[in-house]
């Protein structure tokens, strides 16, 4: 009988948005060393796009996403997930409450990104935050990256361009999303950033065929790699 390696079951709380969830799952597959089906990471995916917009809720001091997020976590817990990942940066505004509401470990995307930065061969001193306004206002990265890297927050005009890029990708207008993300990224690099932190799961998709991607830290990819290591008990 062939040996089948033990892999922990990853629960994916997705749908925020659907394209970003597909990108995250693809990155888990790409980060896994496998020569046959059985070597890959088992996943159970909760892909529900109807969860209220997280960035808007944070800006409006609304708790509307909380119950749908909690429902998704509990569904994944009942389904037998050993670990949970949330491929939506802004959703981590509710991370502490979600983590307290379940016995299943939830991997924080900012912690995974911090670990990824520490492993990079070239040190990053100034990292420009490209994220939704909700993620910026929620201090999702600034709280967890203190002392690791200097986080550069965009000024209002650049932030508006980033938000438009994210909205364009969600609307399926990929060419516009790429152009806007590149415009914002170049502005931030010109202001002295060493690299761009793609801290919205739509942004790596927008820049995947751009020359700016090589100057970027992809938070989605960092979360995927962290999930693979955790699933393999590494």
Q: Is the pTM of this model over 0.85?
A: yes
pLDDT in tens, 199-213: 999 999 999 999 999
Residue 214's pLDDT band, with cuts at 50, 70 and 90, is: very high
Domain 10-109+222-231 matches domain 110-219 at the CATH topology level? yes
Q: Three-class SS of residue 71?
A: helix
Grade residue 122 by pLDDT with cuts at 50, 70 and 90.
Answer: confident
Coil vs helix vs strand at 193:
coil
Q: Decide: helix, strand or coil at residue 41.
A: coil
Average confidence score pLDDT of the chain: 96
Q: How confident is the model at residue 3 (pLDDT cuts 50, 70, 90)?
A: low
Per-domain residue ranges for the chain? 10-109+222-231, 110-219
Q: What is the pLDDT of residues 130-179, one digit of tens each?
A: 999 999 999 999 989 988 899 999 999 999 999 999 999 999 999 999 99
Q: What are the two backbone dihedrals, phi and then psi, of residue 202, each rounded to the nearest 5 degrees?
A: -80, -25
Phi, psi at residue 13, to the nearest 5°?
A: -90, 90
Q: Could you please state the CATH topology (level 3) that the domain comprising 10-109+222-231 is classified under.
A: Rossmann fold (3.40.50)
* Mode of pairing for the β-strands spanning 195-198 and 150-152: unpaired
- Mean pLDDT, rounded, for 177-193: 98
- Looking from the CA of 181 toward its CB, the CA atoms found within 13 Å total 35
pLDDT at 111: 97
CATH domain 110-219 topology: Rossmann fold (3.40.50)
Model pLDDT, residue 233 = 87
Strands 195-198 and 105-107: unpaired
Mean pLDDT of 91-104: 98
Interior/surface letters 187-201, b for 16+ CB within 10 angstroms, e for the rest = bbbeeebbbbbbbbb
**Which pLDDT value is given to residue 147?**
86
Q: What is the pLDDT of residue 6?
A: 85
The yes-or-no verdict on residue 32 having pLDDT over 60 is yes
CB neighbour list of residue 131: distance below 8 Å, 6 or more residues apart: 89, 90, 140, 141, 162, 197, 199, 200, 203
3-state secondary structure of 59: helix
8 A C-beta contact, residue 72 and residue 39: no
Look at residue 103 and tell me whether its pLDDT is greater than 80. yes
């Amino acid at each position: 009988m062939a040996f089948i390696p033990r892999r922990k079951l990853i629960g994916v709380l997705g749908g925020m948005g659907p394209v970003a969830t597909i990108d995250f799952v693809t990155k888990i597959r790409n980060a896994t060393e496998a020569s046959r089906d059985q070597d890959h990471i088992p996943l159970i995916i909760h892909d529900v796009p109807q969860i209220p917009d997280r960035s808007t809720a944070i800006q409006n001091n609304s708790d509307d996403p909380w119950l749908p997020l909690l429902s998704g976590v509990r569904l994944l817990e009942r389904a037998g997930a050993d670990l949970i990942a949330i491929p939506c940066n802004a959703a981590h505004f509710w991370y502490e409450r979600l983590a307290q509401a379940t016995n299943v470990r939830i991997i924080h995307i900012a912690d995974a990104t911090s670990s990824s930065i520490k492993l990079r061969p070239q040190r990053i001193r100034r990292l420009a935050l490209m994220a939704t306004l909700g993620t910026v206002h929620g201090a999702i990265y600034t709280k967890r990256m203190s002392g690791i890297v200097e986080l550069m927050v965009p000024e209002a005009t650049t932030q508006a361009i980033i938000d438009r890029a994210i909205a364009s990708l969600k609307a399926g207008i990929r060419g516009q999303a790429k152009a806007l993300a590149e415009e914002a990224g170049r502005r931030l690099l010109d202001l002295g950033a060493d690299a761009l932190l793609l801290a919205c799961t739509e942004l790596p998709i927008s820049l995947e065929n751009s020359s700016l991607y090589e100057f970027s830290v992809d938070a989605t990819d960092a979360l995927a790699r962290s999930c693979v290591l955790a699933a393999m008990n590494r």
